[in-house]
Amino acid sequence: MSEEQPESRPEEEVVEPTTPPKDPLRRSRTSGAWTAIVVAAVLLVLLVVFIAQNTESVDISFFGWDGSAPLAVALLIAVVVGVVITAIVGTLRIWQLRRRVRRDKRS
């Protein structure tokens, strides 16, 4: 048996990757704004339903302050205060991390 030598192949062309064609339905700022408006409208409808269903008055006591308010209002105030506290703590942490990164860059 004779050994066959591999056929010599011409050098293959190197094909450089090309960018994919742009999708005509790609995301844009307008589509992002539209999505945000739809989500906000749905949340607003849910909020109105929540307020309409929770109108009974409740007694509230906080550090010696006593009063009464509709249940929905009391819960919404509690949520807003919680969001504000979370935002403050998160902002302080971001500032702390940015300061640390700037200090490490200088070193």
Binning pLDDT at 50, 70 and 90, where does residue 12 land? low
Binning pLDDT at 50, 70 and 90, where does residue 65 land? confident
Answer whether residue 63 is part of any domain. yes
Question: Range of 34's domain?
Answer: 29-106
Answer whether residue 44 is part of any domain. yes
Answer whether residue 94 is part of any domain. yes
Answer whether residue 33 is part of any domain. yes
Q: Is 51 left (phi over 0), alpha (psi -120 to 50) or beta?
A: alpha
Answer whether residue 64 is part of any domain. yes
Answer whether residue 79 is part of any domain. yes
Residue 97 has a pLDDT of: 93
Binning pLDDT at 50, 70 and 90, where does residue 85 land? very high
Res 19 pLDDT > 80: no
Res 3 pLDDT > 70: no
For 24-33, b/e burial (b = at least 16 CB within 10 A) is eeeeeeeeee
Residue 27 has a pLDDT of: 72
As for how many domains the chain has, the answer is 1
Answer whether residue 7 is part of any domain. no
Answer whether residue 6 is part of any domain. no
